[in-house]
Structure 1
Amino acid sequence: MAYRKLRHFKQQQREWEHQQDVALDAHLDPEPELTEFERAADWDDSHWERVDTYSRTHKQWGGFA
């Protein structure tokens, strides 16, 4: 008898957890895609300054050292 009560309790628990997961998924809708303008605004010149000042070695660029 106790086994059936435990199974029933576990089934109810799984159903409740499923309902909570569905509610959370509905609450956490994915954000809309960034527009091209927003994506371009994220890139600033400091990124390219860091790339341009990066010390390059012959090994990195395939030269003979």
Structure 2
Amino acid sequence: MIRHDYPNLQKWLLHLYYDLSPEETRNAFAPTTHFDAIMEGYAAASKSKIVPLGPLPLMMPKP
């Protein structure tokens, strides 16, 4: 899991999600991240068709 196993990558993702404005990221992160759609797409692509419930929280709070 990125948030536990890759702390530097997690720090970078949090920076992209929380610190940069939508103009800086061209609306590529927080405004357009739809976790429900991501999890449903993952389930549709997998053999099990089970929609994951987490991780919870979906995005870690800003440190």
**Pairwise TM-score range, normalised by the shorter structure:** under 0.3
Whichever of the two has the greater Rg, that structure is 1
| TM-score for both structures, normalised by structure 2 | 0.23
